[in-house]
Structure 1
């Protein structure tokens, strides 16, 4: 996986709120998608359909899909369980963790606990362990996430002034997603460990580095990474995938919760606003992956929009006036009305029409529908 793998000004908040209202009022019936039993029912049926991809023998959602997607599906399921207080799928959750925490066949030197040959893969599973801790308050899961943080930290060095390498052992690429996940993970650990200073220090170091790399471009969108392969540390101009816009929102929101620094919310707000108003990422007000118009989205990219929705909801919860709620409701309404088959499976294009089913598409929809609960 690359490409597989307070000062938030009142004016900015009002501007974003106006945009999302304008986007959503044009979609009749949007209120039916948010709040109350209808929203829970829609999320629940999407989860049930996602479980149709669950492979008991491996503890993965579609054993042929990229491994990180089972970590992301686990996060989507746990987000739903936390919000609804449902324990219906706890046996499968426990089964998945038991099997997948073992040493990976393709990377046994990681010695298990989700330590993989791509630091972003480890990051997805580590964040799922944080959510498992939120659900169970069992510190064993937080300990796994701490192990994963230490593993990812090993691959921080001075190349380009800092940051974590994506690919192991080659270490050819410092990209956005690995470093965004590390930011969110370290800030999340800080917020759950009383008296912590270490993880806060790591989170602040990561953000200070990330902010100065130039990966956030002049349009306030995050490109894929740095041109480390060519020996340059410049923004590589790579695709502005929606998950790269999303995870940074989650990381900045967690760091804001740990520091109270409202400048972090202001930065996140600019990124969110850029996505919401982008004619490429939100044409007609509906989130669209850059690969969708050409029909070239692969099995990784098909999962990305749900990651954005999950993290935008986190930012919305932390932001006064909840300026992104309307946008999220519009996405959920559109997907439900236009991108769903009779088996409650969701396709790639939330604007519709439904194309085909798959775990990447379904976990993305589960994250979207859970975001509006």
Structure 2
């Protein structure tokens, strides 16, 4: 069953009236977000501020990577912000570098496991790049060339490789945090890794109508809830951080992060929009009821409750609000029953964002604490991402919802992507070895052996 998407004029009217209430005398960006020209000019400054942290195209650097100390996973999430920026403003300034970055990092097997991340990549790291290319398919971002992997293909490859790591030997299922045994956290099954799998599965289900993806979304949700990572014992459902396999994941860390909550809100919204099953709206409602913990009670301004009050948010955690804002936008579009209430909180936060983005030598560097009357002195990729995404997601009703293969999306894929070496129909780079090649290789090998024996004889003599 497919729910028809309709832009409800009453919602858009409520949005515009609420936006008009934001005062203009304290806007460091001189930005009126009810006016398209003024809004886009301000968003352009924030996007430029985000890209100021990008150095991947500099000599000796890696395309797609942001400057130290930002990790690979955050680069994937940041490119999603730049994708959203293009989608909501129409500004194509950064599209070439965005496309180039997404394709450079795919890895030899086209599954976002590049060699430069071989020793450190986790399931959640790979998952956020998969979420970004899934969004590229849903937004009809410019397709790669025919000899390159397509956006849908890449999302399917990430899903398949993640699903292949589903571990039933410990805690009855779920994904570990880390992919490789030598990394700290391999014995931890965290919510964000499983949330990424759930989110991608739900979106692939809606995009392709393939029931297998829907089954995986159900399976992942059920495991997370059964383990108590989503605590559904009351009307307000917190989403916790994870548990260790040493105690069968029974001692669940009660930390609550915005992006974990957002992953499940967004995935549930995609499931609700595609299936029409009321259980998904019920789940959204319960999790959202708890989500208000991430907004200050007196002002409704968003903050990272687990670390921001103590001033101990690390570089990763300082971008979580960007991801949360993006996922709240999904809920507004795909579960429109939730739109008015969620937008009330986003609009209150928007006022704080505009006031906060008044720092730095450029005058539009954004801070971490949006409740202060001005810039708080904090700055970084995460702060810039979060401010940009918050403002963008007050505009969700100005653009179409995520597309599917039935509603105009043009990206193509392959259900077997990621299950073998470049299992696709686009290109084959297999090397054909001829007799001449073998003969040449044999001569080279013989020469090398003779040289090695000569060196060994010289050392002995």
TM class by shorter-chain length?
0.7 to 0.9
Partner of 1:140: 150
Range that drifts further, 122-131 or 57-66: 57-66
Is the aligned partner of 1:118 residue 2:122?
yes
* SS at structure 2 position matched to 1:50: helix
Distance 1:83 1:227 in 2: 41
Contact 2:126-2:158 at 8 Å conserved across structures: yes
Contact 2:33-2:39 at 8 Å conserved across structures: yes
Distance 1:109 1:330 in 2: 37
**Structure 1's 92 and 271: CA in aligned 2 closer, same or farther, altered over 3 A?**
same
Is the aligned partner of 1:240 residue 2:264?
no
Aligned residues: 345
Task: Give 1:28 shift.
Answer: 4.9
Is the aligned partner of 1:254 residue 2:258?
no
Distance 2:337 2:327 in 1: 16
**Structure 1's 35 and 103: CA in aligned 2 closer, same or farther, altered over 3 A?**
farther
- Give me the TM-score of the superposition, normalised by structure 2: 0.69
**Structure 1's 256 and 235: CA in aligned 2 closer, same or farther, altered over 3 A?**
farther
Range that drifts further, 256-265 or 56-65: 56-65
Partner of 1:29: 23
* SS at structure 2 position matched to 1:174: strand
Is the aligned partner of 1:366 residue 2:385?
no
Partner of 2:316: 300
Distance 1:62 1:312 in 2: 28
**Structure 1's 273 and 111: CA in aligned 2 closer, same or farther, altered over 3 A?**
same
- CA-to-aligned-CA distance 1:93-118 (integer Å, 9 cap, x gap): 122123222359xxx99456988730
Distance 2:377 2:258 in 1: 20
**Structure 1's 220 and 33: CA in aligned 2 closer, same or farther, altered over 3 A?**
farther
Structure having the higher helix fraction is: 1
- Equivalent residues in 2 for 1:1-373 (5 A)? 28-29=22-23, 32-33=32-33, 36-55=36-55, 56-57=57-58, 58-59=62-63, 60-102=65-107, 110=113, 117-133=121-137, 134-136=139-141, 138=143, 140-158=150-168, 159-170=170-181, 171-193=186-208, 195-217=209-231, 218=234, 219-228=236-245, 230-276=246-292, 278=293, 281-284=295-298, 285-289=300-304, 290-317=306-333, 318-320=335-337, 322=339, 323-341=341-359, 342-352=362-372, 353-373=375-395
Distance 1:152 1:83 in 2: 30
Where structure 2 has 5 or more consecutive residues not aligned to the other structure, the ranges are 1-10, 25-30, 144-148, 396-461
Distance 2:113 2:105 in 1: 12
Partner of 1:10: none
Contact 2:107-2:113 at 8 Å conserved across structures: no
Partner of 2:450: none
Distance 2:114 2:192 in 1: 23
Range that drifts further, 119-128 or 264-273: 264-273
Contact 2:113-2:126 at 8 Å conserved across structures: no
Range that drifts further, 297-306 or 260-269: 260-269
The alignment's C-alpha RMSD in Å is: 2.9
Distance 1:147 1:109 in 2: 8
Task: Give 1:324 shift.
Answer: 0.8
Contact 1:156-1:164 at 8 Å conserved across structures: yes
Contact 2:187-2:244 at 8 Å conserved across structures: no
Contact 1:177-1:224 at 8 Å conserved across structures: yes
